[in-house]
Structure 1
Amino acid sequence: MKFTSVARLFPEVCPRCRGATERGFCGGCSADFAVVPDPCARCGLPRPVTRCPRLDNPWHVGAIVAPFRYCVPLHHHVHALKFNRVRKLGRAFGLLLAERLGSLCEGIDGLVPVPMHPERVCRRGYNQATEIARSVAAELSVPLMIRGVRRFGGAPPQTALDARHRLKNLEGAFAVERSLQGLKLAIVDDVITTGATVNSLARSLRAAGAEIPAAWAVARTLSEKRNRG
């Protein structure tokens, strides 16, 4: 039986409203996700940005692209993907992100999802960043690069820390055990808050010879008081 016939028999449903959809979130549900207004092309925060995170530490990522705000209702689905084992949401988020990239993906040689420590992957059953990146890679027809990129354990979760301690927590957190010489890579994650995680990973990837034009995520955590005038 052809795929089209199977699709007619078992139509895809939106993971939010359970209504019919062509792929991932339906148009109505994705329209409910708040976008980042007038994002800065470099840090992804809404402009005007009064304190760019790039100014606080050496920065290794060319640009941050995270089109949606990490707020209701989107954050419920991110939480379900990360903690409730709703793995299929990774594909839905990947499709949603890929639709927003447009020409930004030109020249990218591969995607690197932010790795998790193996023990945490075993407990969760999967890495949510990998699930998102897998669909983005398929949509863009670029390789997903996981081999030889790993994360060390022993550090507390980033969600429990402020910006300064997030950076300290990630010192030496990633290892790249392969040559990436001459490759232009984009990092993929679910949510970017301070950018410390993607910046730390980018530093390790650059040490292996890669160029990191961008980090892509579904959502950006915003702090209006800190980032806007």
Structure 2
Amino acid sequence: MNIRSIFNQLVPRNCLLCGGAAHTGQICLACLDDLPWHTQAQCPQCATPVASGQTCGACLKHPPAFDRTFAALAYAFPLDRLIPRLKYHGQLAIAPALGECLARMVETVPAPDRMIAMPLHAKRIRERGFNHATEIARALALRLGLPLDTTSCQRIRDTPPQMGLKHIARRRNLRGAFTCSGDVRGQHIALVDDVMTTGTSLDELAATLKRAGAREITCWVAARTLPPGD
């Protein structure tokens, strides 16, 4: 047993959700069980719910550049409270909790050659002081023992927020937003992000990496926005 485990048993941390003793991790076991895990039948490429579990019509009509998506949770309560608290209020303790949830989902899937967190533009990092996707990916890398690449991809355009934009406008908004300076030729890359809504940002980043020679792109997201009624 390492020093951290001993410390956590002697001085248990409080659960982010109920305030009770979490003992290990950031969320207690009872609250973990109550989270909206994204376990329903879903499109293997974009993780949107599909009763058949086959590739959805949207991915068949407009195939994204990424090959597969694993989403740990549905973007519903309490994720719709936790993630904004991380992104906009700097509550960084939430990031490792999301990383732990995501690790549960992907620990048995084929390991990538490296992980890359969704980049933020330098202006956004200066405003917030951190990249929330990178913080989630750090916890994931520590848990799974995978390399985290924080330098190969950059966001070179400070694009307006995607919220409220229609699908075509989202694509236009992100065109040319990313660049890849690292050598990713022939590699399987896992892209880490907090939430997938339409997947447009991840699609554009995946396309950038594919143009740089990446062999396979998998999206690892903490939460997936679901269609109304799901």
Q: TM-score, normalised by structure 1?
A: 0.90
Question: Separation in 2 of the partners of 1:203 and 1:152?
Answer: 15
SS at match of 1:164: helix
Please say if residues 158 and 166 of structure 1, whose CA atoms lie closer than 8 Å, have aligned partners that are also in contact: yes
User: What is aligned with 1:12?
Assistant: 13
Return the match for 2:105 from 97, 100, 106.
Answer: 100
Residue-by-residue CA offset, 1:186-212 (whole Å, 9 max, x unaligned): 000000001111110001111222123
Identity %: 32
Structure 1 equivalent of residue 85 of structure 2: 80
Q: Which one of the candidate residues 155, 163, 167 is aligned to 1:163?
A: 167
Q: TM-score, normalised by structure 2?
A: 0.90
Match of 1:212 among 210, 213, 216: 216
Provide closer, same or farther for how the CA distance between residues 52 and 28 of structure 1 changes in structure 2, counting only shifts above 3 A.
Answer: farther
How many residue pairs end up in the alignment?
A: 225
User: What is the alpha-carbon distance in structure 1 between the residues aligned to residue 128 and residue 151 of structure 2?
Assistant: 20
Match of 2:34 in 1: 32
On the 8 A contact 2:107/2:144 being kept in 1, the answer is no
Unaligned runs of 5+ in 2: none
Provide structure 1 residue ranges, at least 5 long, that are not aligned to the other structure. Answer: none
Secondary structure of the residue that 2:205 maps to in structure 1?
helix
User: 1:63 maps to which residue?
Assistant: 68
Inter-CA distance 123–30: structure 2 relative to 1 (3 Å threshold): same
Contact 1:61 1:215 in 2 (8 A): yes
Check whether the contact 1:32–1:73 (CA below 8 A) recurs between aligned residues: no
Moved more, 135-144 or 16-25: 16-25
Displacement of 1:4 after TM fit?
Answer: 4.1
Measure how far apart 1:83 and its partner are. 0.8
